[in-house]
């Protein structure tokens, strides 16, 4: 079954065609980073308007690249939420209209489910069940992923998401937007342990996380002394090491507590090289299997939405053409079979 996926929840227009038999056929992405850079963050109205401009040309491009005619599509999947309301409406309206015109099912997909299952786009594919560490700009959560649609929330951030902490700290250090990659580049020049920052909630005894204190610690440090370029790099290194430490140790605790031996890391912060290396080392010690999506599928993309659409279609899920968007949408409530959130 061939499904086209449309992702427009934030600042990336992502399109893809996924075939349940042969896998990903084509994907394309337009990033709005350059457009929002001048404002230091995403401007929702500009994001929506740009999605309007990009979505149809990108749809035509992925269909051509996939060698797939419109009539050959079995369904249209779009990101229904969570995300920016106006941006979501672009993908939802285009997706539903296309599905209606083709007489095929329209499938509203949960953006986080896309991230959670994105490692299935790679090879080797993790088999169920697994623990997922989802670390993006808006979310930092641990899930037990039992099967498609069956997700148990194990722990989550009490305040900022990991990506948000990267972005805010990068802003404090005068780096560009998005902050994560810029901060990682600066941290690579910093000395280990030159600046030691707190490890929030490391010994909280649960799988919850907290990152806003860390951002405050950076800001206090930066106000105490004028920062030379070297000192800035040391501070970035100290910040990244603290986040990586907490995420890696809590991920191992999540494996221990769930009794599972597979860990999947998804979301934009999963692109961070230091986090990848540290998790690889910890997983080896724990004799656990570790899976990352390809770098291109760590951050927002259409392929993960097309993939979830195809999986949902196999499980018989589609909806009417009267679309909706859900700017706020807990993942556990999206499960068609049962909702299993622990909080």
Tokens at residue 320, please? 């009417």
3-state SS class at 109: strand
User: H-helix or E-strand containing 262?
Assistant: strand 262-266
| Residue position matching structure tokens 């670390």 | 135
In total, the chain counts a number of residues equal to 343
Contact stretch for ligand KG4 (CB under 6 A) within 23-31, 32-40, 179-187, 307-315: 179-187
Q: How far is the CB of 33 from ligand KG4 (least distance, A)?
A: 10
Contacting ligand KG4 (CB under 6 A), which of 75, 271, 310, 332? 271
Q: How far is the CB of 143 from Zn ion (least distance, A)?
A: 15
Residues 229-268: x/- map of binding to ligand KG4 (CB under 6 A)?
--------------------------------------xx
Select from Zn ion, ligand KG4, none the partner in contact with residue 119, using the beta carbon and a kind-dependent cut-off of 5 to 8 Å.
none
Q: What CA–CA distance (Å, rounded) separates 80 from 91? A: 8
From the number of C-beta atoms within 10 Å of its C-beta (0-12, 13-18, 19+), residue 4 rates as: buried
Backbone angles phi, psi at 27, to 5 degrees: -150, 155
184 binds ligand KG4 (CB under 6 A): yes
297 binds ligand KG4 (CB under 6 A): no
Q: Which is nearer to ligand KG4, 221 or 239 (CB)?
A: 239
User: H-helix or E-strand containing 16?
Assistant: strand 12-19
Q: Which is nearer to ligand KG4, 73 or 325 (CB)?
A: 325
79 binds ligand KG4 (CB under 6 A): no
3-state SS class at 329: coil
Q: What CA–CA distance (Å, rounded) separates 116 from 218? A: 30
Q: How far is the CB of 301 from ligand KG4 (least distance, A)?
A: 8
Using CB under 6 A as the criterion, which residues of the chain lie in contact with ligand KG4 when the complex forms? 136-138, 163, 166-167, 178-181, 184, 267-269, 271-272, 299-300
């Amino acid at each position: 079954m061939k499904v086209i996926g449309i992702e427009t929840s934030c600042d990336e227009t992502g399109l893809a065609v996924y075939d349940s038999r042969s896998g990903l056929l084509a994907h394309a992405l337009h990033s709005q980073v350059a457009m929002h850079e001048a404002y230091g963050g995403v401007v929702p109205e500009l994001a929506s308007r740009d999605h309007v401009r990009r979505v149809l040309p990108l749809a035509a491009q992925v269909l051509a690249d996939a060698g797939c005619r419109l009539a050959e599509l079995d369904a249209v999947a779009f990101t229904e939420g969570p995300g920016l309301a106006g941006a979501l409406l672009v993908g939802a309206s285009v997706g539903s209209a296309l599905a209606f015109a083709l007489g095929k099912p329209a499938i509203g997909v949960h953006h986080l489910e896309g991230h959670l299952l994105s490692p299935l786009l790679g090879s080797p594919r993790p088999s169920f069940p697994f623990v997922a560490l989802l670390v993006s700009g808006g979310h930092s959560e641990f899930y037990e992923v039992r099967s498609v649609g069956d997700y148990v929330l194990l722990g989550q951030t009490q305040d900022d998401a990991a990506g948000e902490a990267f972005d805010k700290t990068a802003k404090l250090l005068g780096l560009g937007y998005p902050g994560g990659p810029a901060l990682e580049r600066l941290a690579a020049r910093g000395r280990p342990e030159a600046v030691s920052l707190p490890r929030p909630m490391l010994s909280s005894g649960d799988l919850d996380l907290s990152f806003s204190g860390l951002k405050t610690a950076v800001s206090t440090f930066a106000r105490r002394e004028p920062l030379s370029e070297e000192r800035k790099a040391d501070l970035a290194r100290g910040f990244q090491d603290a986040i990586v430490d907490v995420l890696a140790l809590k991920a191992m605790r999540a494996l221990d507590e769930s009794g599972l031996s597979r860990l999947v890391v998804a979301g934009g912060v999963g692109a961070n090289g230091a986090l990848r290396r540290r998790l690889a080392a910890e997983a080896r010690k724990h004799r656990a299997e570790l899976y990352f999506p390809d770098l291109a599928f760590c951050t927002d993309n259409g392929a993960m939405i097309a993939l979830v659409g195809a999986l949902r279609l196999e499980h018989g899920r589609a909806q009417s053409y009267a679309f909706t968007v859900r700017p706020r949408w807990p993942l556990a409530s999206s499960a068609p079979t049962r909702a299993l959130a622990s909080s």
